[in-house]
Amino acid sequence: MYEWYQLGYFFLLYSFLGWCIETLIYTLTRRKFTNAGFLTLPFILTYGVVMVLLIGILPAFGDNLLGQFIFTFIQASVFDRLGNFNVRILTGVKWPDRGGLFGGTLKGFLGALAISAGYYLVYQIIHPLFLFFLPLFSGAVFRVASNIMLILLALDFIFSVIAVRIGKYEDWKKHSRSAKTAAKLTDHVWSRIQKTYPGIRDMNEEQERETYVFGQGMTFDKLIWVFFLSALLGDLVETLYCGFVDGEWMSRSSVLYGPFSFVWGIGAVVLTITLQPLAKKNDRWVFLGGFFVGGAYEYLCSVFTEMVFGTVFWDYSDMPLNINGRTNVLFMFFWGILSVVWVKIVYPRMSKWIENIPPLAGQVITWTLCVTMFLNGALTMMAMVRYNFRRIDPNTYSLYEEFLDYHYPDARIEKRWPNMIVVEDSELEIPMESSVPEP
């Protein structure tokens, strides 16, 4: 099993290699050196995230090479889209969209296929070589160096985001000396970015003069409301389905308090971001996108709960055409139908309703929802982790553990999630590379 610091190594390594490849392509194409990354440091984070997920999950497919490649294709396409969107949300800048799989064009599909093939070849051919040299980077010095680099990377990301946002306001140059210094730094960041994306600053000049409408377009505020409303509706639909169809009335919530299913909420956000470019395309394209994205999302949710909490909340092993018991073709078909209904009917109406919310009230409610759901989720995670630790050692060693044991005992956890299955370590279906040497 990989240690967290080893995954940190791989994240940094593949983020750097991704930067090298993109920078080389831009440099050869333009015949001059071009930093292809958003950051000042030589890292493109999307590559690191995708490779770490592949390293952790692909072994579960065993010798099914086709399944491995399909999963790689879906994951690489989704995270490329999410990465571009997240940068746009954080910076407030409309970045050029590379299209990719969700551009709805043959060129985009072939490009996504080529990138996925590159990821897969790196995993199959290059990654084993890195595993061979991994013991050389297991000492304390390298761990400290890795942690320092991750901290620098986080600071670089934060500064780049702030610089791009502030850099849109020329008024900074008219104020104090410190403001002028900040303006120079932001201009430096913008200058570097414009070398990669010529004209991007001019493209966004008019954005600041637009009349403000709450949640206009696909913004952070709107996505919070999409998450909240979908989590609420998803929990309601699942509860009614289990009650009337299966005859079992049970909680389908993801958190300790309130009828909210994070699986549905996050799923709605993912489908909105990834499939919205296909909204004007034929329904079959939306269906295919939802078929694969929904299946991959359900699979990842199952992996996450098993790795973090040691529990699973659904198991399709008894159903035909299942994929490691985490999803199956029938439910992927349902994901496709749901995606068409969501993209074509539900989301457009929900979007218009959200944009009619008064701006001030919208901001207050949005941040109230953010704080409330974050605390609810954090408390749920702590209670679930403690629930698993109690199976190993029921004794308490701190006031924190006493508090959780008193307020959230096993009986309450199991009543809240009656369909939860505790997975023993030996039963985990996500085998890590057994060839990874222990440090």
Give 99's DSSP letter. -
Q: Which helix (H) or strand (E) holds 311?
A: strand 311-312
pLDDT of residue 206: 47
Q: Could you read off the pLDDT of 168-224 as tens digits, one per residue? A: 544 444 444 555 666 666 677 777 777 666 656 555 544 444 445 777 777 888 889
Quickly state the pLDDT bin for 229 (edges 50, 70, 90): very high
d(CA 315, CA 351): 34
> Burial, 11: exposed, middle or buried (Cβ in 10 Å; 0-12, 13-18, 19+)?
buried
Q: Where are the domains of the chain?
A: 4-209, 220-427
Alpha helix (H) residue ranges in 167-219: 177-196, 200-203
Question: Is 414 in a helix, a strand, or coil?
Answer: helix
Do the Cβ atoms of 76 and 46 come closer than 8 Å? no
- pLDDT bin (cut points 50, 70, 90) of residue 90 is low
Judge whether residue 82 has pLDDT over 80.
no
Interatomic CA distance for residues 384 and 396, integer angstroms: 15
Instruction: Name the residue with tokens 């490329």.
Output: 80
Q: Please, what is the end-to-end C-alpha distance for the chain in angstroms? A: 11
Q: What is the pLDDT of residues 25-69, one digit of tens each?
A: 878 877 777 777 778 888 888 898 889 888 888 887 777 788 888
CB 254 within 8 A of CB 383: no
**Alpha-carbon gap, residue 204 to 95, rounded angstroms:** 9
The stretches of 245-316 forming alpha helices (DSSP H) are: 262-275, 283-309
Question: Rounded to the nearest 5°, which phi and psi values hold at 2?
Answer: -75, 140
- Tokens 């969501």 — which residue? 342
Which pLDDT belongs to residue 251?
73
